[in-house]
Amino acid sequence: MSEKSVSAIAVIDLARQLLALNIIRRQDIELIAFPLHQYFTDKYWSEPASALVQEQRSPEAYLLRLWLLAEENALQPGFGLTIGSTVNEKAKGILANWISQAATLAEVFDIFNRHIMLLNPSESWCLSKKKNSYVLSFKFLDSSYPVAAIERSMSALLAWAGYFCGFTIPVIRAGFAYARPEHHNDYDKIFGKEIRFSAGSNYLVLSREVMRLPIPHANPYLKQVIGERAKSILHQLSANKSLSEQINVLLSSDLRRYSQQQYVCEQLHMSRSTLYRKLKAEQTSFSELLDKVRKSMAQRGIENKLTVEQQCQQLCFYDSSSLYKAYRRWSISP
């Protein structure tokens, strides 16, 4: 099991919904995630003992064990879609509170994508622009997560986006990397009619008009205040990581900024020489870390059929020749 941490409120909400669906019992919570059993009553949810439960962390192992147990116990398929489509205001962690103050849906997805570590570092979202649409692709970095967890993450993204905007978000097209499940008809009301299974990746295609939708109750001041607090939490999470892991987090959160070494040094409060020396002690270098992140993003871009121009923009290459040189170095083809 992973030693990474996730938002505690995400674990609590999943357990609450699994209890409500009679998929798990309270005894299961005590066995799997005993420190969290205080948050449950006979009504499945009690007010948090701490006002800052939104900022608390829990081992990712709790979340993963709940999913695996649910997969084993569930008598009816499709519970991941049921859970994901349910919006619970009490389950708003720091990331959900932050994005709820964004100006537009595009900004919601941008903040969410770049700071997903606040929710679950094993979730990987990629937002790419096409001519008349946006593509949101998704995968779990830990392959132990079952299909139900993928269903939940993708349907929850749309449910919360609709909650923030005030109406259902229309999807142009959706794809899923796994085979068509027996409950595939349940997908239509969430993801629309244009659905492809056994696709190269999990993705949602939304129109540019949808992404421009305003968030009615957005508050720039609250966005700034919550954002600063969220970044402080991210910094605390990174403090326990190796230097190379911290840099990977920065590169993944904002490649355009942190592909420039000076901004990495500023963020980590160290000189270039210290950065070089510490990375050398970890048997790596900044250029090597940057190259690996770019390669991973390039592979995702190819899966999502991004154009050369879009790949250059996403990977922060100045021209196509630099991109093609990188392709050859990585032994991948567009």
DSSP 60-106: HHHHHHHHHHHHHH-SSTTHHHHHHT---GGG--HHHHHHTT-SBHH
pLDDT band at 2 (very low <50, low <70, confident <90, very high): very low
Average pLDDT on 320-324 reads 92
Lowest mean pLDDT among 30-44, 92-106, 170-184, 225-239: 30-44
pLDDT at residue number 42: 52
For β-strands 5-7 and 57-59, DSSP reports them as antiparallel
Per the listing, tokens 């696709």 go with 199
Q: Has residue 1 got a pLDDT over 50?
A: no
pLDDT band at 41 (very low <50, low <70, confident <90, very high): low
Other CB atoms within 10 Å distance of the CB of residue 206: 24
Q: What is the C-alpha to C-alpha distance for residues 72 and 74, in angstroms, rounded to an integer? A: 6
Q: Has residue 123 got a pLDDT over 60?
A: yes
Average pLDDT on 234-260 reads 83
Q: What is the C-alpha to C-alpha distance for residues 296 and 258, in angstroms, rounded to an integer? A: 16
Q: Could you give the domains of the chain?
A: 5-211 (3.90.1520), 241-334 (1.10.10)
Q: What is the C-alpha to C-alpha distance for residues 93 and 98, in angstroms, rounded to an integer? A: 9
Does the predicted model carry a pTM greater than 0.85? no
Q: Has residue 105 got a pLDDT over 90?
A: yes
Three-state DSSP state, 130: coil
